[in-house]
Amino acid sequence: MVEIKNLSVHYEDILAVDSVSLRFEKGKIIGIIGPNGAGKSTLLKVCVGVISEFSGEILFDKQDACRSRRRLKEQIGYAPEDATLLPYLSGMEFLQLVAVLRKIKNPDWEIKHYLQMFGLDGVKKQLIINYSHGMRQKLSLAAALLGQPTYIFLDEALNGLDSLALYHLKNHLKELAEEKKPIVISSHVIQLVVQWCDPVILMHEGKIIQTYSQQDISALEKKRNKTFETIYVETLTDLSQGPS
């Protein structure tokens, strides 16, 4: 389990994350939604160690993240929206390098598996600089999942994926969740988050506004006779307008 206690992050005069407390439970695929600037990416970057300046506490299975960062680095899988890949390596070489850096033993089968799962096997020897955006996103996801990490964070990493890749990724994440791994996905694609995740967390202006279980979402859709996506948009509109 990942436990976040009273987390705040400042960018100069901007409060990007405001006193957030959360738990990412094992065996759950957790979705985080919200508009641009809501604090979703900042929250995940703190969790994975990309951002180190913050107040509050983050615990990975009761171990302080700041004190255990070196050990945790090998246990965290992280795919951001615009991953920094090495353009003059091939896709295969990049995954092999990731395996070395993360000290993954005998990675060949797993590399082959992810290349096939994401439809990259036919371009594995091509340089990454020649990959399309969608291909780079698939490679980033393969790198994040390589080595069966204990904690998985996907930050807007579904963007640019085709239907087949999404299908395989969804099934694979379900399998990983069954192995008691916490999986956190931030995304603007509301329909996918609702289909994949339980719970779904709504952020706005750095704060947690609401946490929805799948039962909550179904009840809300039935009560208001609207899709959750429509309810989400209406909620954001109300939040942006402030109290009347």
List 224's β-bridge partners, or say none: none
The number of beta carbons lying within 10 Å of the beta carbon of residue 145 is 22
pLDDT band at 128 (very low <50, low <70, confident <90, very high): very high
List 155's β-bridge partners, or say none: 186
Cβ-contact 69, 78 below 8 angstroms: no
The backbone region for 79, taken as left when phi is positive above 0, alpha when psi lies in -120 to 50, beta otherwise, is beta
Looking at residue 81, what is its pLDDT? 87
pLDDT surpassing 80 at residue 180? yes
Separation of alpha carbons 72 and 116, rounded Å: 28
Model confidence over 131-175: pLDDT tens digits?
A: 999 999 999 999 999 999 999 999 999 988 999 999 999 999 999
Cis peptide before 243 (omega within 30 of 0): no
pLDDT band at 84 (very low <50, low <70, confident <90, very high): confident
pLDDT band at 66 (very low <50, low <70, confident <90, very high): confident
Separation of alpha carbons 102 and 93, rounded Å: 14
How open is the CA angle 150-158-165, to the nearest 5 degrees?
90
Q: What is the pLDDT averaged over residues 97-101?
A: 94
pLDDT band at 244 (very low <50, low <70, confident <90, very high): low
Looking at residue 31, what is its pLDDT? 97
What average pLDDT does the structure give for the chain? 93
Model confidence over 27-60: pLDDT tens digits?
A: 999 999 999 999 999 999 999 999 989 999 999 9
